[in-house]
Every structure is written in C-alpha cells, then in structure tokens.
Amino acid sequence: MQSNRELRQSVLVIFDQTFAITTALNLLATVVAFIGILSALMALQIEQARQFGVMRANGMSRRQLWGFTLIQTASMGTTAGLAALRGRRHGGRTARVEALFEAVGTPTQAGQVLAERLRQDGALPGFGHTLYPEGDPRGRALLDLTAAAVRGSRVLAVARAIAAQAQELTGDGPTLDFGLVVLARALGLPHGAAQALFALGRTAGWIGQALEQYQSGQMIRPRARYVGLRPESQGAFA
C-alpha cells in the first residue's frame, strides 16, 4: 500500500510526463504547420511564375504584368486585412463600444454600468489607447465634429455621460472607436456601420501604403509616430 504522499508524488510524475508529451506534440505541430505554409508558398510561387509565362507568351508587356500584379496583391492584402478586423483588439472593438451603449441606455445609468463593466473586464472599450497616452486626437476631433453637426441628439447626451464617467473611473479619454460609434448612432446608421467606417478608412491606407511600397521598391515599416498636423479640438463635444 502506498501512502498519500507517495501516491501524490506518483501522480505528479505522471502529470510531468503528460505535459512533456504535450509540449513535444505542440512543437511537432508547429514544425508541421511551418513546413505546410512554406510548401504552399513555394507552390504558389511556381504557379504564379507559370501564369506570368503564359501572359508574356500571349503578348502582355512588362508594364501590364506590373499592373496586374499590383491589382492582384492589393486586392489580396486588402481582403486579408478586412478579414482580420473581427478581432477584439482591432476593428471589432467598435462592436464592444456599441454593446456598451446598449447597456447604458440613459445618461443616468452610465456610472453604474461602467463601474460594473470595469470590475468584470478590467478595461472599458473605446477608452485609452497605447499609442496616445495623452488621449486619442482622432476620437476627440470626430466627437467635436459630430456634436457640431448633430446638436441636441440623445446619443450625444449618453456619449457625454459615458465619456465623463470613463474619465473619472480610468483617467482615459475616448478613442477613435468611441467616436465612430457616436457618429454612426447620431446619424441613425444601421448596427455595424461604425466598423464599416473604420474598415473604409483603413482600406484607403492599406492601398496607399501598397502603392508607395511598389514605387519605392522597399518595405515600409511604420513606427506609429504621427508627424502631420494634429486635428484641433473645437470643444463642441465637451
């Protein structure tokens, strides 16, 4: 008969062996996935070279090939970028902001709802941005423009209450996601329109960057340092 201590040691040994096997399987799966992706890319490269050869044989010039490649890669890159917008920490954040608006309902409930959401999630969607520790100027400018264009809106009253409570609870200002949701709701746009507006702006940026990379012949790696003119707050929302 084994004592409880010996039995526990035996169980821990089995667990360690199981975890070691799991780690090895994870590593093997990673290697297999890498090989699969590499093989797929090589096959795609061979297929594309064959496709270009056929096009050249049919009389397509180098300029026409360049234009075809640009359109193809730009459309593929844009599609991939749009597919990635569903994540919680990217374009999909506007959906979380919309859910917050639905939960608040009226300005008087903002404090209670935000405090509960902060207790559950540890953060408030639409407030605080890593790249803008002093406040997202895009969100503030968009809120000011919306407030100036749609005066007396019930949506603005709720938005101001949410922003004030969020500032009091976290010290963070509204982001672009919050501004887009306020704009969409103030204009009576359908659910999900804020994300569509976000995607529209990003798509123009992606295509512009792709064109610039093709013209320069080198990769562009943005450092997220905005050097242009900063939008000036008109104070209409505050």
> Can you give the residue ranges of every domain in the chain?
1-60, 61-238
Selected residue with higher pLDDT from 199 and 81? 199
**In 84-221, which residue ranges form alpha helices assigned H by DSSP?**
93-104, 110-121, 137-149, 154-170, 176-186, 193-216
Q: For residues 20 and 18, what is the distance between their CA atoms, to the nearest angstrom?
A: 5
- Confidence check: pLDDT of 72 > 80: no
> Mean of the pLDDT values across residues 18-22?
66
Q: What integer pLDDT is reported at residue 89 of this predicted model?
A: 65
DSSP, collapsed to helix, strand or coil, labels residue 173 as coil
For residues 220 and 205, the answer to whether their CB atoms sit within 8 Å is no
For residues 65 and 56, the answer to whether their CB atoms sit within 8 Å is yes
> Mean of the pLDDT values across residues 157-165?
94
Q: What integer pLDDT is reported at residue 214 of this predicted model?
A: 77
Q: What integer pLDDT is reported at residue 126 of this predicted model?
A: 92
228: which residues sit within 8 A by CB, 6+ positions away?
none
Lowest mean pLDDT among 52-66, 72-86, 101-115: 72-86
- 61-238 CATH choice from 3.30.465.10, 1.10.230.10, 3.40.1480.10, 1.20.1560.10: 1.10.230.10
Q: For residues 26 and 18, what is the distance between their CA atoms, to the nearest angstrom?
A: 12
Q: For residues 128 and 110, what is the distance between their CA atoms, to the nearest angstrom?
A: 17
- Confidence check: pLDDT of 2 > 60: no
